[in-house]
Structure 1
Amino acid sequence: MFISGAWSEAKSGRTFAVTNPATGEEIEQVADGDAEAARRAIDAAHDAFQSWKHTTAYERSAILRKAYDLMMERQEHLARTMTEEQGKPLKAAMTEVQYGADYLLWFSEEAKRNYGETIPSARADQRFIVLQQPVGVVAAITPWNYPVSMITRKVGPALAAGCTVVLKPAEATPLCAIEVFKVLVEAGVPDGVINLVTALDPKPIGDEFCTNPRVRKLTFTGSTAVGRMLAGKAAAHMKRVSCELGGHAPFMVFKDADPVHAAKGAQAVKFLNTGQACISPNRMYVHRSAEDAFLTTLTERVKKLKAGSGFTQGVAIGPLVNEAAVAKVARQVDDAKGKGAEVLTGGMRLTDGDLGSGHFYAPTVLNGVDPSMDIYREETFGPVAPVIAFDDEEEALALANDTEYGLAAYVYTRDIARAMRMFEGLEFGIIGINDINPTSAAAPFGGWKNSGLGREGAREGLGEYLETKMGGFAI
């Protein structure tokens, strides 16, 4: 753990194992922190905030820029740590490190754009001035699926705003968090400004984050169920909360789109990170006239995807995070098959050779999916593409919006009017129009409905860590 500027073990001496999901082998033992460790980290962050909040935006900007440079220098080392610990192919891990570093660069610049304002008064002897000031100690909880970029997406704006941070990384990927903290420390972040608590059991840490009065902001990325629970506990203490939660993204292919081009895009985004992404498309709505061409191309491309260790050349499908993830995917596929869905490729766990010791599921395409099937309603978080045919635009929009989630949606069409209707009509926070990568450090990321609260990235991302203060001056 890293508390008050020092690396330390848990006071209890307890540790837990970090394993490689591709092989099942232990990588390292990591300190197993608890609520007491979280309290110490919060106290350290609170003490450091008293001076950190007075640093200039230019000072904070310089530190974040240095961290960006160091992260890029260590891109391959960070990527290899990620591939070993999380499982994604090395090329994808390299891309994530770049994406994570981009948040440090963006917020190094945005730190200097924390503007206030003056507001005209109806009284000649009065002036209104508005300041934006840091909220205080931030408690951050990050997931395992993007174990570097989800840290920088929270820590970057928090530091830029002048906040201090206590981070609880996912228990599956603490090594990536440790390596990111080494970068931030070397970049010059002062003692106590950033703190890291690793733990096998997240509940005591989360409870401390939600109830400790010194924590003024909670930011969480993870499942909707856990996000709801944390937000409820934090609300009882009137803490600021932002949550990036589950998704159930529709991928819509209209009759005027090129079905081959759309299928190529669908394959690329659906199987990114083995389907373990919150913006991964989970329901592929294809116009009936384009269905055959779309399915032919999609199935051909999915059959060519190679599964295995992320260190193996040519591998595109890494392991799922654990046995529970494999079981969930298998349950959804078996349920769909039992209710009439057709498996065009995949549909089983992979156990041949070295794959048998890891958590691998075959990249799968299902046709004939309908609302009676679990996969139609539940987020999969795995390498399965369910395809549903539709007949008209109104039907497709209603089907796409028929979900409790509202994070990302994708639309393929060459009709600009339809594109605008879909952009305005879809109840999702991120819409890709003929675009499978509608994300950037410069763009706001977040969802509607049960997909979360608040936004990360862009200028909105800085605002999540600021409080508004208004002064009325009589002169």
Structure 2
Amino acid sequence: MAPIPAPTPAPALAPTLTLKPGTAWTDAWRRCCAVAPEAFRDDRVRNLWNAGWQPDGRVLPATSPVDGTPIAGPPRLDADTAHRAVRAALDQHRAWRHVPLPERRARVAATLDALTEHRELLALLLVWEIGKPWRLAQADVDRAIDGVRWYADGIDGMLTGRAPLDGPVSNIASWNYPMSVLVHAVLVQALAGNAVIAKTPTDGGVACLTLAAALAAREGIPVTLVSGSGGELSEALVRAPEIGCVSFVGGRDTGAAVATAVADLGKRHILEQEGLNTWGIWNHSDWDTLTAVVPKLFDYGKQRCTAYPRFVVQRELFDEFLAAYLPAVRTLSVGHPLAVEDPADPPPRLDFGPVISAAKAKELHDQVTEAVDRGAVPLHRGRPTDARFLPGQDTSAYVHPVTLLNPPRSSPLHHAEPFGPVDTVVLVDTEAELLAAMNASNGALVATLSTDDRATYDRLAPQIRAFKVGHGVPRSRGDRDELFGGLGASWSGAFVGGDLLVRAVTRGPAGERLPGNFSAYQLMP
């Protein structure tokens, strides 16, 4: 009699996940109302202008990209109210510019202490409003605080021989880094002697920015925070004669309109715009280093201005590239940023959660489908079954990592930044093709060239149209020790970083030329 085979063990069931206690949106909102009741009332936030929290604006409904939870929407002002807010900011500016530097520094330092005290709440708001994983949300808050402290410690030397502008600085920034880009810039601008205006991004971040602005306003920082559509508020926030400088971070279409306006008016400006950042591989053999860096390049789902969505690879190295790249991209962890197996567990260490909205997710899915239909070859597609989700949660804003070979030239994925976890690979046979493919977007913020030969790097790197080019390593924004800018259509106006950020928002000696990407390198007022 044949032996009875042992039963096949049942596959292990995936653990059931739950929302970490105390991290629900309702918990975050309750804490905001307790910390800053002047700014958070009932189920809405307020605008901050004329040194007070105003119950104005038409509130639009909003949902979290994390799981569709209803959250606070931006209270959108109309154009007339925005102009009133700008005029009030000018009055604040005229008073603030005469406040002695030691007092300005003390107020900024007190603001940083308050931000530090509420660090975890600010990070939790970033999770819910823009879908950042917990560790990246905390890092965003920490970079803002640490960065501004660096300026506060060295501001005396940076302001020697310099004075505030004649009007407030207007800040219009994208939604992806509310703290380390927008709040950081606002506090440094105020430290330098300017009143500041910030527009909350339409796509997310209003509660986080409102809490940060409330903490700053309590310390006497002259900050204005308003919400509204860019088209309706641009006359006030960009063209108004009261504005002393425009600082913009966003896409090329909107940035081009802002650039035209500030050029016509001769207004000081800092305009950071998107570009297709590329990673070239030519006569390269250090594949272990590439494997180690690939997961880091997917931080926050590549929703960063310095993300690398394009690899340009020497054809004869393609098989070795795949052997290094694919195992790394298969390790990526995606899911709900606050889903845990045990209530006592810390939030998970994910590479990314959702993209900014279900609409953006659909856009990316459609672009990938269209590219494949027209000939692109899928090299990797992440599986939803590998993601960490709560039972039954809304996952419409999630995009799993995708890598495509040779997207068609008709596809947006060929020439534009996807701003999501979609990589494209282009194969080339000559150095000329390598450079052409790396320069596909008429200028970029960063690029990298991996090659074993230093002489080859030194010869090719100057021909890559990116502001910063790394030799086998990724480049980043860099706010302290080095300047930051862009080439071509990726930037317009003054460069920043280190003391250049302060110089960009202050007046120096007569005839001073600010380093930057200006039309005909014009003198800035």
TM-score band, normalised by the shorter chain?
0.7 to 0.9
Alignment of 1:72-91 (within 5 A): 72-91=116-135
TM-score, scaled relative to structure 1 = 0.87
Q: Alignment partner of 1:440: what SS?
A: coil
Match of 1:99 among 143, 148, 154: 143
Alignment of 1:11-410 (within 5 A): 14-115=58-159, 131-171=162-202, 172-186=204-218, 188-190=219-221, 193-199=222-228, 201-269=229-297, 271-312=298-339, 313-346=348-381, 354=392, 356-369=394-407, 371-410=409-448
Q: Would the aligned equivalents of 2:89 and 2:224 in 1 still touch at CA under 8 Å?
A: yes
**Structure 1: how far apart are the matches of 2:220 and 2:330?**
47
Residues 314, 51 of structure 1: alpha-carbon distance in 2 compared, 3 angstrom cutoff: closer
Q: Would the aligned equivalents of 1:455 and 1:461 in 2 still touch at CA under 8 Å?
A: yes
Shift of 1:357: 4.0
Q: Which amino acid aligns with 2:333?
A: K
Q: Alignment partner of 1:343: what SS?
A: strand
**Structure 1: how far apart are the matches of 2:220 and 2:460?**
44
**Structure 2: how far apart are the matches of 1:160 and 1:412?**
40
Q: Would the aligned equivalents of 1:136 and 1:163 in 2 still touch at CA under 8 Å?
A: yes
Q: Which amino acid aligns with 1:3?
A: W
1:452 aligns with 2:491: yes
Q: Would the aligned equivalents of 1:410 and 1:436 in 2 still touch at CA under 8 Å?
A: yes
Equivalences, count: 451
**Structure 2: how far apart are the matches of 1:382 and 1:61?**
38
1:3 aligns with 2:40: no
**Structure 2: how far apart are the matches of 1:7 and 1:468?**
34
Larger displacement relative to structure 2 (137-146 or 227-236): 227-236
Q: Alignment partner of 1:41: what SS?
A: helix
Q: Alignment partner of 2:427: what SS?
A: strand
Q: Which amino acid aligns with 1:35?
A: A
Q: Which amino acid aligns with 2:226?
A: V
**Structure 2: how far apart are the matches of 1:263 and 1:170?**
35
Q: Would the aligned equivalents of 1:136 and 1:164 in 2 still touch at CA under 8 Å?
A: yes
> What's the counterpart of residue 123 of structure 1?
none
Q: Would the aligned equivalents of 1:307 and 1:362 in 2 still touch at CA under 8 Å?
A: yes
Q: Would the aligned equivalents of 2:337 and 2:353 in 1 still touch at CA under 8 Å?
A: yes
> What's the counterpart of residue 124 of structure 1?
none
**Structure 2: how far apart are the matches of 1:368 and 1:29?**
40
**Structure 2: how far apart are the matches of 1:332 and 1:29?**
28
Q: Which amino acid aligns with 1:446?
A: G
Q: Alignment partner of 2:106: what SS?
A: helix
Shift of 1:325: 1.4
Residues 391, 153 of structure 1: alpha-carbon distance in 2 compared, 3 angstrom cutoff: farther
**Structure 1: how far apart are the matches of 2:336 and 2:316?**
39
Larger displacement relative to structure 2 (143-152 or 371-380): 371-380
Q: Could you tell me which runs of 5 or more consecutive residues in structure 1 were left unpaired when the two chains were aligned.
A: 118-130
Question: What CA deviation, in whole Å up to 9, does each residue of 1:273-300 have, x standing for no partner?
Answer: 1121111112101223432232233222
Q: Which amino acid aligns with 1:198?
A: S
- C-alpha RMSD of the superposition: 2.5
Q: Alignment partner of 1:399: what SS?
A: helix
**Structure 2: how far apart are the matches of 1:137 and 1:426?**
36
**Structure 2: how far apart are the matches of 1:290 and 1:179?**
50
Shift of 1:174: 0.9
Shift of 1:358: 3.2
> What's the counterpart of residue 470 of structure 1?
510
Q: Which amino acid aligns with 1:2?
A: L
Q: Would the aligned equivalents of 1:103 and 1:156 in 2 still touch at CA under 8 Å?
A: no
Shift of 1:159: 1.1
**Structure 2: how far apart are the matches of 1:105 and 1:422?**
38
Shift of 1:225: 0.3
Q: Would the aligned equivalents of 1:46 and 1:137 in 2 still touch at CA under 8 Å?
A: yes
Residues 336, 202 of structure 1: alpha-carbon distance in 2 compared, 3 angstrom cutoff: same
Q: Which amino acid aligns with 1:250?
A: T
Shift of 1:469: 4.3
Q: Would the aligned equivalents of 2:306 and 2:475 in 1 still touch at CA under 8 Å?
A: no
Q: Which amino acid aligns with 1:316?
A: D
Question: What CA deviation, in whole Å up to 9, does each residue of 1:1-32 have, x standing for no partner?
Answer: 1113222211x6x3223321121121224423
- Identify which of structures 1 and 2 has the higher relative contact order when contacts are C-alpha pairs closer than 8 Å and 6+ apart: 1
Q: Alignment partner of 1:344: what SS?
A: strand
Q: Which amino acid aligns with 1:339?
A: R
Q: Would the aligned equivalents of 1:64 and 1:107 in 2 still touch at CA under 8 Å?
A: no
Q: Would the aligned equivalents of 1:60 and 1:108 in 2 still touch at CA under 8 Å?
A: no
**Structure 2: how far apart are the matches of 1:321 and 1:116?**
42
**Structure 2: how far apart are the matches of 1:139 and 1:115?**
20
Q: Would the aligned equivalents of 2:73 and 2:206 in 1 still touch at CA under 8 Å?
A: no
